[in-house]
């Protein structure tokens, strides 16, 4: 398990050990990865983050067209694995979680422990830091630093 922000580690690790999820990705609603477990290639993480954010954006738009409240979670249930994709609010803004789970656990357990992790993240989040300007010369270094954190390279 790797996280860009240290305070995410304990809630995510607790979720992973209790839910028995195989793969988990936490990201912002724009698809920026915050933490991941189970991915081995950065390309897979970036693709999954972009697709997950796109799916939830599509369902949000679908619910708007239907005139209903935004749908918070989407489940894709396959014969071998299931995918649980949910949006949630944190003190750091709206985040998304993508969880891949197998028959060794269940959707009910994943949902339950995911909800607990959301509560844990809300309690663990430090006070908001003042926004700082992102300079072009810092961007690549920060991006590389984030990728090293997520993949240990």
Partner 1 sequence: MSLDLALSDITRIPGVRGALVVSRDDGLVVADALMEGVDGGAVAALAASLAGRMRGVTAVLGQPEPVLLTLGGTEGMLLLAPGQSGLLLVAVAGSDVNVAELRLSVLAAAGTTF
Q: Which residues bind partner 1 (CB under 8 A)?
A: 77, 105-109, 111-112
Q: Which residue has the tokens 């983050």?
A: 49
Q: Which is nearer to partner 1, 90 or 105 (CB)?
A: 105
Q: Which is nearer to partner 1, 112 or 143 (CB)?
A: 112
CB of 101 to partner 1, least distance (A): 11
CA 19 – CA 114 distance, rounded (Å): 8
Name the residue among 18, 7, 36 with its Cα closest to residue 96.
36
3-class SS string, 3-51: ECCHHHHHHHHHHHHHHCCCEEEEEECCCCEEEEECCCCHHHHHHHHHH
Q: Which is nearer to partner 1, 33 or 85 (CB)?
A: 85
Q: Which is nearer to partner 1, 81 or 143 (CB)?
A: 81
CB of 106 to partner 1, least distance (A): 4
CA 98 – CA 25 distance, rounded (Å): 5
CB of 112 to partner 1, least distance (A): 5
CB of 91 to partner 1, least distance (A): 24
């Amino acid at each position: 398990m790797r996280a860009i922000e240290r305070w995410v580690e304990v809630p995510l690790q607790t979720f992973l050990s209790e839910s028995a999820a195989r793969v988990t990705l936490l990201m912002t609603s724009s698809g920026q990865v915050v933490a991941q477990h189970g991915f081995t290639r950065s390309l897979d993480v970036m693709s999954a983050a972009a697709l997950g954010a796109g799916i939830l954006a599509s369902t949000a738009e679908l619910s708007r067209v239907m005139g209903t409240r935004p749908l918070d979670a989407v489940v894709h249930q396959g014969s071998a694995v299931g995918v649980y994709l949910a949006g949630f609010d944190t003190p750091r803004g709206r985040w998304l979680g993508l969880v891949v789970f197998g028959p060794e656990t269940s959707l009910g357990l994943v949902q339950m422990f995911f909800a607990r992790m959301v509560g844990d993240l809300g309690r663990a989040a430090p006070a908001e830091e003042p926004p700082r300007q992102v300079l072009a010369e810092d961007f690549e270094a920060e991006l590389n630093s984030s990728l090293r954190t997520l993949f240990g390279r």
